[in-house]
Amino acid sequence: MILEDSVLEKEISQAVIRRMPRYYRYLGELLDEGVERISSGELSERMSVTASQIRQDLNNFGGFGQQGYGYNVSFLYEEIGKILGLDQNHNIIIIGAGNLGQALANYMKFDRLGFHTIALFDVKEELIGKNIRGIEVLHVKELDHFVKTHDVDIAALTMPKSSADDIANHLVSLGIHAIWNFAHVDLSIDAKDVVVENVHLSDSLMQLSYNIVKNK
């Protein structure tokens, strides 16, 4: 009980949280291969992460390993899933049904993780009514009504950056608490209970470029 309380009270660093999806992915692959248990040493070799890093990371949530046994793969997979909130469903709306918005809506793997896109919104008349994998593109004029009448957990911003901040703040005023921001702009959202995840593929490419140059 004391351990559980201290685990709950502790603020887990974002660096640890960012490593969790990778553990989840590797454990999922192990499950697909029929592996039932794995030592921290084997997991470390497979993931190219030190065994002590794995232990430290998982100890943030109370451990999960057993001395001399290692990790039960399906148990650990489920527990990390719970930590990441993947035991719940999350409804997503996508604002901007262009190249990126449609690509996200078309990606079925998100559904398997419990992320369900339930509508796309755009301003372009020729896109309105279009059906992407069974998901309709609606006009942004319908956004308020839609958010008020559906459970929307996450809004993905895939429209030009010029309108991203206004739309983000409008979404927050409608009660949306999570924004997945692809527009290349830092959003100025005041509300403390709103979480924003910025995704910039070009940042990742620039890091790659840095490493190419460095290794020449």
- Give the footprint of ligand NAD on this chain (CB under 6 A): 95-101, 121-124, 127, 140, 158-161, 163, 167, 182-184, 199-202
Is 68 annotated as a binding-site member? no
Q: Is 135 helix (H, G, I), strand (E, B) or coil?
A: strand
Is 129 annotated as a binding-site member? no
Q: Which residues partner with 93 through β-bridges?
A: 119, 155
For residue 203, the minimal CB distance to ligand NAD (Å) is 8
Cβ–Cβ < 8 Å for 181, 199 = yes
Q: Which is nearer to ligand NAD, 202 or 215 (CB)?
A: 202
Q: Which is nearer to ligand NAD, 196 or 199 (CB)?
A: 199
Length of the chain: 216
Is 85 annotated as a binding-site member? no
Q: Which is nearer to ligand NAD, 27 or 157 (CB)?
A: 157
Is 70 annotated as a binding-site member? no
Is 101 annotated as a binding-site member? yes
CA gap 179, 174 in Å, rounded: 13
Q: Of 94, 96, 61, 89, give the one whose Cα is nearest residue 76.
A: 61
Report the residue closest to ligand NAD, judged by CB: 98
- Report the run of H or E that residue 137 belongs to, with start and end: strand 135-139
Q: Which is nearer to ligand NAD, 22 or 184 (CB)?
A: 184
Contacts of 71 (CB under 8 A, 6+ apart): 37, 38, 39, 40, 43, 64, 65
Annotated binding site: 96-101
- Binding-site residues for NAD(+), in ranges, read 96-101
